[in-house]
Amino acid sequence: MTEVSIILPTYNERENLPLIVEKLQKLMDGHSFEIVIVDDNSSDGTWQIGQELASHYANIQLIRRVNRKGLTSAILEGFLLGKGKYVAVTDADMQHDINLLPQMLEVIADYDMVVGSRYVHQTEVPGWDRARLWISRLGTQMACRLLQQNVTDPLSGFFMLHRDLIHQIAPKLHSDGFKILLEILFQCPNLRVKELPYEFGVRLHGSSKLDTKVMLDFLDLLISRSPLSKFGFQFIRYSIIGASGVAIHLLVLYLLYAQWQWPYALSLLIAIQIALASNYVWNNQWTFGEQRFMKSEWWTGLIRYNLACLLGSTYNLAIGWYLVHHGMNWVFASLLGIMVGISWNYMANQAFTWKK
């Protein structure tokens, strides 16, 4: 019988994957274990490396997911495929200290879950500046308050649990949600959790896909706890960012038009562009974070976004300009313009900019 299935979610980890696999094979020698690689069709061909590894080792399986992205759903799929008595997950970049795995296996029988935790002792993370560590810790603490669970690292991506348990709760987990551990802790408030401390290391190769999202994760947590969650994460996130865009729009318009008395149409055009740019940044980071554009794609994304919003922006501009021209107060006029623009933009962005 397989004792443990170790899930490795990968996205562009071509250089790291063979290294972690070798290390796991050595480390877990003597245990009955399997490795499940879940790759989201990485553009660097990680899945091909996974295929080679799977044909070389009998205890390795690869799931290549196409047209889908997202860490939570990738891990969940790996868990559900695994046949071990226990299932575990760790990053493929070796930032987690996988040497803990045998120890996790020793204690898991007495608990529901064992979590590798970064913050038990660690006061510095290599490669992170103070701000990032601080943000990450604050988010973590707020999450703990809400959870009413005493877990120091509820955002950890390194943990092990009983396979039965994950099968029980799997249907309740949002696959487009935030961190999977947090979700599990949410769904099962009374889990017996054992934390094992470790030092979060530096990523071996490649770049991080998650970065400073902890605050946004925390917002997600609030959303999921509120009745709003019925409308779906994407729409709620989009609306919150939309609201911030409206505030930015009005602020810029206030400065340019009301304070500095620039022509209304020009002020409006600039306000729309600045609000759009801000919305793009945040939507890319958060609302559509799972499909987000990075590096050079970021600019093509911005262009797509502007194209998708073109009709909405034109309406926005035309309506605002027309109404002000006919004597309406500029705040109301721009709000009306925004309302028409927003509804169009959501549909257009979903269908065009960040299409799956």
Residues binding ligand GDD (CB under 6 A): 9-11, 13, 38-40, 69-71, 74, 91-93, 95, 155, 157, 179, 203, 208-211, 214, 290
- DSSP strand pairing (193-197 vs 86-89): unpaired
CB atoms within 10 A of CB 106: 10
Alpha-carbon distance of 246 to 77, in angstroms, equals 39
Taking contact as CB under 5 A, which single stretch among the options 92-100, 114-122, 185-193, 294-302 is the one that binds Mn ion?
A: 92-100
Question: Smallest distance from the beta carbon of 19 to Mn ion, in angstroms?
Answer: 14
- Separation of CA 73 from chain center: 11
Burial class (CB in 10 A: 0-12, 13-18, 19+), 277: middle
**Nearer to ligand GDD by C-beta: 85 or 292?**
292
**Nearer to ligand GDD by C-beta: 229 or 291?**
291
Question: Smallest distance from the beta carbon of 55 to ligand GDD, in angstroms?
Answer: 20
Asked if residues 36 and 61 have their Cβ atoms less than 8 Å apart, the reply is: yes
Query: What is the number of alpha carbons within 13 Å of residue 4 lying toward its C-beta?
Result: 26
Asked if residues 18 and 101 have their Cβ atoms less than 8 Å apart, the reply is: no
Closest CA to 238 of 353, 345, 311, 351: 345
Alpha-carbon distance of 170 to 79, in angstroms, equals 9
> Of these partners, Mn ion, ligand GDD, none, which one is at the site of residue 157 (CB under 5 to 8 Å by kind)?
ligand GDD
Question: Smallest distance from the beta carbon of 169 to Mn ion, in angstroms?
Answer: 25
Alpha-carbon distance of 78 to 91, in angstroms, equals 13
> Of these partners, Mn ion, ligand GDD, none, which one is at the site of residue 304 (CB under 5 to 8 Å by kind)?
none
**Nearer to ligand GDD by C-beta: 65 or 162?**
65
**Nearer to ligand GDD by C-beta: 95 or 267?**
95
Alpha-carbon distance of 14 to 31, in angstroms, equals 26
93 binds Mn ion (CB under 5 A): yes
> Of these partners, ligand GDD, Mn ion, none, which one is at the site of residue 284 (CB under 5 to 8 Å by kind)?
none
Question: Smallest distance from the beta carbon of 139 to ligand GDD, in angstroms?
Answer: 8
> Of these partners, ligand GDD, Mn ion, none, which one is at the site of residue 24 (CB under 5 to 8 Å by kind)?
none
Residue 42: CB partners within 8 Å, gap ≥ 6?
Answer: 10, 11, 12, 13, 14
Residue in the shown chain whose Cβ atom is closest to ligand GDD: 157
**Nearer to ligand GDD by C-beta: 115 or 256?**
115
> Of these partners, ligand GDD, Mn ion, none, which one is at the site of residue 11 (CB under 5 to 8 Å by kind)?
ligand GDD
> Of these partners, ligand GDD, Mn ion, none, which one is at the site of residue 88 (CB under 5 to 8 Å by kind)?
none
> Of these partners, Mn ion, ligand GDD, none, which one is at the site of residue 39 (CB under 5 to 8 Å by kind)?
ligand GDD
> Of these partners, Mn ion, ligand GDD, none, which one is at the site of residue 40 (CB under 5 to 8 Å by kind)?
ligand GDD
95 binds Mn ion (CB under 5 A): yes
**Nearer to Mn ion by C-beta: 111 or 128?**
128
- DSSP strand pairing (33-39 vs 86-89): unpaired
90 binds Mn ion (CB under 5 A): no
- DSSP strand pairing (159-162 vs 113-117): antiparallel
Asked if residues 47 and 64 have their Cβ atoms less than 8 Å apart, the reply is: yes
Closest CA to 168 of 59, 79, 237, 252: 79
Site of interaction with Mn ion (CB under 5 A): 91, 93, 95, 203
